[in-house]
């Protein structure tokens, strides 16, 4: 088949993320309210900030401000993870990063399926934070076996979706005629099913072991558990959520507010209690409820180098050691104050971050500004204006933040710290592929852009 006849994976991803957004707004109306609030705050921020508006317009980002940046799912078995990898590959999303959530007492490990290149990320940034349940971390071996049995009976990808995935793999892509049905079928995997696959008693046992286990094991598939638009002012949205009858989690996760934003700041609204029907032998289903689905917002800053990231991890650990957030969100204000205080010594301008090797940049050349006597030294070239360093946006996730989002939506804002039991090897074996190293992607973009810019100035 002629390759040009294929729909670009970036376009398939756009079809998919927009279908997912429509479905989720119908399933979780409060998410639609959050989106409205985000739109309102973004509009106000742009109106108050003409320079920001100009920058976003110049980079073509204004039109896409409202599209979702990410979603999240939780899978039950290694086979499911391998299948989902193949499904996302059709949409140009690949596994980047390994996140061990067991450090926060959550029995999963995760990756993010995301576009790899800057142009694909620009075109449509949608990615999916994907977790795999670790039954080996459940203490009750009998319950783990029950869970494994239940999971072994479900098929999360429809037959038609499977056919189209195989077709895309063997032909190297999907035509526009096939992409539509593929997206429709793929959506089925992530739909909410209010009928549980277990009886009430089994649900209760799973739930007692860990709420997350009940969420993963008791349903027909890995329902999308949140979507996340981008906000230009996360503190404003956090503060205004209650005015719209939305209950935010206690604190914004990640670094504090900064002049030169770093990494990723996130917050979410608490998961809603939803009606569920449990199966019962010889009688109609028994009504109950389940909480799992929520809405989140994010604000992204510059990607940090390993050196910058080590500083970040250290300052965050100090903050968390100094102030413990309680299950009802107690000490939230003290925590935010401590976070500001701890991060005060961390350089807060892009120039300093670059000069100290703490963050990743992308370089471009302005040949008419080459200084007299030419130079190959990036600092000299930057000073003269011949070389411009733009911050690279952090496109990944943060394990401690992710744990905080999980926690809050499992019913408690309480901070928890456990020993690490990371097992990237087992995760990759399940995935059927290695995960890519996010740091390598940023470093390559930086190095490639610098050599191209220097060539442009030579």
CB 3 within 8 A of CB 168: no
Q: Nearer to ligand OOG by C-beta: 393 or 449?
A: 393
Near ligand OOG by CB under 6 A: residue from 21, 42, 77, 225: 225
> In this structure, what token pair is assigned to residue 411?
């019913």
Q: Would you call 371 helix, strand, or coil by DSSP? A: coil
Q: From the list Ni ion, ligand OOG, none, which binds 401 (C-beta under 5 to 8 Å, kind-based)?
A: ligand OOG
CB of 126 to ligand OOG, least distance (A): 13
129 is a site residue for ligand OOG (CB under 6 A): yes
CB of 71 to Ni ion, least distance (A): 7
Q: From the list ligand OOG, Ni ion, none, which binds 305 (C-beta under 5 to 8 Å, kind-based)?
A: none
Q: Rule CB under 5 A: which of 277-336 touch Ni ion?
A: 296
Distance CA 262, CA 96 (A): 19
β-sheet bridge partners, residue 175:
6
SS (H, E, C) 74-123: EECCHHHHHHHHHHHHHCCCEEEEEEECHHHCCCEEEEEEECCCHHHHHH
CB of 178 to ligand OOG, least distance (A): 30
Q: Rule CB under 5 A: which of 55-114 touch Ni ion?
A: 72
90 is a site residue for ligand OOG (CB under 6 A): no
Near ligand OOG by CB under 6 A: residue from 7, 12, 72, 297: 72
| Tally of CB atoms within 10 A around 318 | 15
At residue 67's C-alpha, the angle toward residues 389 and 14, to 5°, is: 100
At residue 180's C-alpha, the angle toward residues 179 and 186, to 5°, is: 85
Closest by Cα among 353, 355, 231, 368 to 304: 353
- The Cβ-side half-sphere exposure at 101, using a 13 Å CA radius, reads 24
Near ligand OOG by CB under 6 A: residue from 30, 131, 407, 449: 131
Distance CA 257, CA 133 (A): 33
74 is a site residue for ligand OOG (CB under 6 A): yes
β-sheet bridge partners, residue 299:
265
Site string for ligand OOG, 380-419 (x = CB under 6 A): -----------------x---xx--xx--x----------
Near ligand OOG by CB under 6 A: residue from 21, 146, 231, 266: 266
Q: Nearer to ligand OOG by C-beta: 72 or 135?
A: 72
CB of 243 to ligand OOG, least distance (A): 24
CB of 296 to ligand OOG, least distance (A): 6
Which positions touch ligand OOG (CB under 6 A)?
A: 72, 74, 129, 131, 225, 266, 296, 397, 401-402, 405-406, 409
Footprint of Ni ion (CB under 5 A): 72, 296
């Amino acid at each position: 088949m002629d390759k040009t006849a294929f729909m670009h994976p970036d376009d398939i991803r756009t079809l998919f993320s927009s279908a997912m957004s429509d479905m989720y707004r119908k399933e979780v109306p409060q998410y639609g309210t959050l989106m409205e609030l985000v739109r309102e705050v973004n509009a106000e921020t742009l109106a108050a900030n003409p320079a920001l508006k100009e920058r976003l317009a110049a980079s073509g980002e204004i039109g896409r401000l409202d599209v979702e940046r990410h979603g999240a799912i939780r899978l039950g078995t290694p086979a499911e993870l391998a299948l989902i990898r193949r499904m996302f590959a059709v949409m140009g999303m690949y596994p980047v990063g390994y996140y061990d959530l067991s450090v926060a007492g959550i029995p999963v490990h995760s990756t993010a399926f995301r576009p790899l290149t800057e142009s694909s990320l620009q075109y449509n940034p949608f990615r999916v934070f994907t977790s795999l349940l670790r039954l080996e971390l459940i203490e009750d071996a009998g319950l783990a076996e029950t869970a494994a049995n239940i999971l072994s009976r479900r098929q999360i990808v429809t037959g038609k979706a499977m056919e189209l995935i195989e077709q895309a793999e063997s032909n190297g892509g999907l035509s526009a005629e096939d992409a539509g049905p593929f997206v429709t079928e793929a959506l089925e995997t992530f739909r909410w099913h209010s009928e549980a696959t277990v009886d009430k008693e089994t649900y209760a046992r799973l739930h007692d072991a860990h709420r997350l286990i009940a969420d993963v094991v008791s349903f027909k598939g890995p329902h999308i558990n949140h979507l996340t638009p981008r906000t230009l002012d996360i503190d404003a949205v956090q503060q205004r959520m209650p005015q719209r009858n939305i209950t935010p989690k206690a604190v914004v996760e990640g670094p504090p507010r900064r002049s030169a934003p770093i990494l990723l700041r996130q917050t979410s609204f608490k998961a809603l209690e939803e009606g569920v029907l449990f199966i019962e032998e010889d009688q109609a289903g028994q009504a109950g409820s389940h909480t799992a689905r929520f809405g989140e917002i994010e604000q992204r800053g510059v990607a940090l180098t390993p050196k910058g990231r080590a500083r970040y991890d250290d300052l965050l650990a100090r903050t968390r050691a100094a102030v413990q957030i309680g299950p009802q969100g107690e000490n939230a204000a003290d925590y935010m104050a401590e976070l500001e205080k701890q991060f005060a010594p961390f350089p807060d301008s892009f120039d300093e971050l670059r000069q100290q090797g703490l963050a990743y940049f992308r370089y471009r050349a302005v040949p008419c500004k080459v200084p007299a006597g030419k130079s190959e030294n990036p600092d000299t070239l930057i000073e003269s204006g011949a070389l411009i360093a733009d911050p690279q946006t952090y496109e990944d996730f943060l394990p401690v933040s992710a744990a905080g989002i999980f926690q809050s939506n499992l019913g408690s804002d309480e901070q928890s710290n456990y020993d690490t039991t990371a097992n990237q090897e087992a995760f990759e074996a399940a995935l059927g592929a290695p995960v890519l190293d996010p740091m390598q992607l940023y470093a390559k973009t930086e190095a490639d852009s610098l050599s191209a810019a220097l060539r442009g100035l030579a």
